[in-house]
Amino acid sequence: MKLYNLESCFYCKMVRDRLKDLGLAHEKIEVSSWQGDRKEVYEVSGQYLVPVLVDDDVVLDDEDKILAYLEKTYGGLS
């Protein structure tokens, strides 16, 4: 599992906190604060905003979608 993240992003923190609460191992990929430098984020998700979560072949590009997915997929594990 990979999380494209900007440390100062509140929405990214929401996702990081939930991943931690669920005890899910993930690779945190820190991105540039300038959206134009987020080529890898764009290649993965088709847009430049973070957070973006990649879980095998599932790619989610919005914190609400990510949090709902984590709860549905892993919520019962905590």
Residue ranges making up the domain that contains 56 = 2-77
pLDDT for 78? 46
pLDDT tens for the 78 residues of the chain, in order: 999 999 999 999 999 999 999 999 999 999 999 999 999 999 999 999 999 999 999 999 999 999 999 999 998 654
Domain count, the chain: 1
pLDDT for 77? 59
Closest CA to 7 of 36, 33, 39: 33
Cα distances from 14 to residues 36, 37, 57, in angstroms, run 23, 23, 22
pLDDT for 22? 95
Q: Is the peptide bond before 51 cis (omega within 30 degrees of 0)?
A: yes
CATH of the domain at 56: 3.40.30.10
